[in-house]
Chains A and B, each alone.
Chain A
C-alpha cells in the first residue's frame, strides 16, 4: 500500500541555521508533491508544489527538491527564524486524486 514517511516527528534547530525536512514515499509514483505548513490550532496552509520533472524549486527562504529515483523530497528553510516553528506536511500526488499527507515534522527554531 502507499506509504508516506516524514523523517522525524520533531526537529530542533538553532536560529539562523538551515532546517532540512525529509519526505519519503513508497509504492506509488507521484506526478508532483506539495508541502504545507500547519500552526497549532489551525489548518494546513499550502507552501510549495514541485513537479516530477523539476529537480528543485525555490520560494524566498524555502527550497524543495524532488528525487523520483530515491522517492524522496527534501524541504529546506535557510536562515531559519523562530517564526518558522510549525509542523510541515508533505503530500505526494499521482494527479487526479485527493491529497494524502504524511504525518508531518514539527520544527522548532530556537533563538
Chain B
C-alpha cells in the first residue's frame, strides 16, 4: 500500500476563497482522522470518522470547516471561506481501530495551507 495520500501538498489561497483538502486512506483502515498542526497549538484533532461516519467533530474550529467521507477510499476537509488564521499544516491519518492499544496511526505527508 502507498500509505495515506493527501493532496495537494501545498496550497496558497486568498482570504475568502474556498479550500478543499483531500485524503485517500490506507485500504482496510476503518478510522480516519483530520488533524491541524501549528507551532502555537501543536497537533490538534479536528474530526474523525469510523466506517465513513463522522463520530466526533468537536475539534472543528467553526462552521467554516466541514469534512466528508463519501466512501471508504476518500475524504475531504473543506474551509469556506478561508481566513489567514487557518494557515497551518493539515494531516490526515488512518488506523485499523479507533484508539485501542493495538492501534497505531498512519499519517499522510500533510497539506501546507497558506491563506493570504
Interface residues in chain A, defined as those with a beta carbon under 8 Å from any beta carbon in chain B: 31-32, 34, 36, 41-46, 49, 51, 89, 93-104
Q: Is the CB of B99 within 8 A of A99?
A: yes
Instruction: Given A43-B91, A43-B93, A49-B104, check contact A101 B98 (CB 8 Å).
Output: no
Q: Which of B18-61 contact A (CB under 8 A)?
A: 31, 33, 35, 41-43, 45, 48, 56
Q: Is the CB of B108 within 8 A of A43?
A: yes
Instruction: Given A43-B107, A89-B43, A104-B42, check contact A96 B31 (CB 8 Å).
Output: no
Q: Is the CB of B43 within 8 A of A101?
A: yes
Range, interface on chain B: 20 to 34
Instruction: Given A98-B31, A98-B56, check contact A46 B99 (CB 8 Å).
Output: no
Q: Is the CB of A95 within 8 A of B45?
A: no
Interface residues of A: mostly helix, strand, loop or mixed? loop
Q: Which residues of B contact A95 (CB under 8 A)?
A: 99-101
B105 within 8 A of A: yes
B13 within 8 A of A: no
Q: Is the CB of B101 within 8 A of A100?
A: no
A101 → B minimal CB distance (Å): 4
Interface residues in chain B, defined as those with a beta carbon under 8 Å from any beta carbon in chain A: 4, 31, 33, 35, 41-43, 45, 48, 56, 91, 93, 98-101, 103-110
A104 → B minimal CB distance (Å): 6
Instruction: Given A42-B109, A42-B110, check contact A93 B43 (CB 8 Å).
Output: no
B57 → A minimal CB distance (Å): 12
Which of A41, A45, A93 is within 8 Å of B107, CB to CB? A45
Q: Is the CB of B42 within 8 A of A96?
A: no
Q: Which residues of B contact A36 (CB under 8 A)?
A: 105
- The 10 closest A-B CB pairs, nearest first, are A43-B107, A103-B42, A46-B104, A101-B43, A97-B99, A32-B101, A98-B48, A44-B107, A96-B99, A43-B91
